[in-house]
Amino acid sequence: MCGIVGLYAKEPAFGERLGAHLADMLVEMSDRGPDSAGVALYRQPAPADGLKLVLHGPEGTDWEDVRHALAEAFDPHVSLERRGSHTVVMLTAGLAALRSWLAEAQPALRLVSAGEVIEIFKEKGHPCEVVKQLTLRGLSGSHGLGHTRMATESAVTTEHSHPFSTGLDLCLVHNGSLSNHNRLRARLRKAGVEIQTDNDSEVAAGFLAWRLAEGDSLEEALERGMTELDGFYTFAIGTKEGFAVLRDPIACKHAVLAETDDWVAMATEYRAIATLPGAQEARIWEPKPGQIYAWGA
């Protein structure tokens, strides 16, 4: 059992308080996932030609040191902003070069997300605590996804938490379980897809990343996912412009969608949506099995 939430601001004014609303939704889904929580927020684009990264470092990481090293290796104007155990980095650099530099010079740091606008934060612990640690309530944004995890398939660690990055400005959250993830993981690794953990959902993320890299549109990648991923799932996929929702063809896992003039929301249960202003008057419906729903994406 896990909880998923997604929120898309149709009106910029609503986006001003996106973090607070997403936090309320996430906390409401705590019973469904008390082991860990995470969010992907789409906000504050990196400067032109720049890159926005989120790095996770172990306790005691000297971030000032990291900043100096990044300034020296890539960009003297690099900026760092701490958020709990995560740090948002904005700089001008090539992602491939940055990846190999990280592996060599800062092996203790983990790249959580990369893109122009995406910021992924995830941590083990109760969603209430995670929300506080990451100071989520103060953040604005255009849209975001969140996940509360009750682990069934693999260990409770920050690395096993959702969302999973699936490429530049892309991420995936998953409620359910996949049964063919071992075989698929081996196949994806052979195709050169980097997979960090033994988590089933990360394989789904890796699968999408691989298909998108091969030139599929998001819709094509999801359609193909329906034939290749065996198991139960409700996926929410974040993109630079919005998000998409897909349930498995027999709709084993719950999902509900709602829309008002100000926002579009998805959640595993309506009570997460009930925390939003105007929820009582929203148009509410259940997404059909095997059908892709997308906003902005």
Partner 1 sequence: MIEIDLDTSPLRETNRRLQTVGANDNARQFRLFNPRGAHAVAAGLTEDLEVTVEGHVGFYCSGMNRQAKIQVTGNAGVGLAENMMSGEVRVAGNASQSAGATGQGGLLVVEGDTSSRCGISMKGIDIVVGGSVGHMSAFMGQAGSLAVLGDAGNSLGDSLYEARLYVRGRVESLGADCKEKEMTAHHLEKLGRLLDRARISANPRDFRRYGSARQLYHFKIGNLGAY
**Does the protein bind partner 1 through residue 156 (CB under 8 A)?**
no
- Residue 171: active-site member: no
- From 65-73, 207-215, 223-231, 263-271, give the range in contact with partner 1 by CB under 8 A: 263-271
Which one, 66 or 273, has the nearer CB to partner 1? 273
Are the C-beta atoms of 52 and 117 separated by less than 8 Å?
yes
Q: How far is CA 120 from CA 4, 38, 87, 165, 286, in A?
A: 15, 7, 10, 8, 27
Among 92, 289, 294, 296, binds partner 1 (CB under 8 A): 289
Report d(CA 87, CA 289) in Å as an integer.
38
Report d(CA 145, CA 167) in Å as an integer.
15
Among 90, 254, 295, 297, binds partner 1 (CB under 8 A): 254
Task: Give the phi and the psi of residue 176 in degrees, each rounded to 5.
Answer: 140, -160
Report d(CA 8, CA 14) in Å as an integer.
9
Are the C-beta atoms of 23 and 76 separated by less than 8 Å?
no
Total residues binding partner 1 (CB under 8 A): 17
- From 9-17, 103-111, 236-244, 285-293, give the range in contact with partner 1 by CB under 8 A: 285-293
Query: Which of 209, 210, 169 lies closest to 296, judged by CA?
Result: 169
CA atoms within 13 A on the CB side of 247: 17
- From 36-44, 51-59, 131-139, 250-258, give the range in contact with partner 1 by CB under 8 A: 250-258
**Does the protein bind partner 1 through residue 88 (CB under 8 A)?**
no
Helix, strand or coil for residue 239?
coil
**Does the protein bind partner 1 through residue 285 (CB under 8 A)?**
yes
To partner 1, the closest distance from the beta carbon of 9 in angstroms equals 21
**Does the protein bind partner 1 through residue 251 (CB under 8 A)?**
yes
Among 20, 69, 284, 294, binds partner 1 (CB under 8 A): 284
**Does the protein bind partner 1 through residue 226 (CB under 8 A)?**
no
Active site residues: 2
Residues engaged in binding partner 1 (CB under 8 A): 250-251, 254, 256, 269-275, 280, 284-286, 288-289
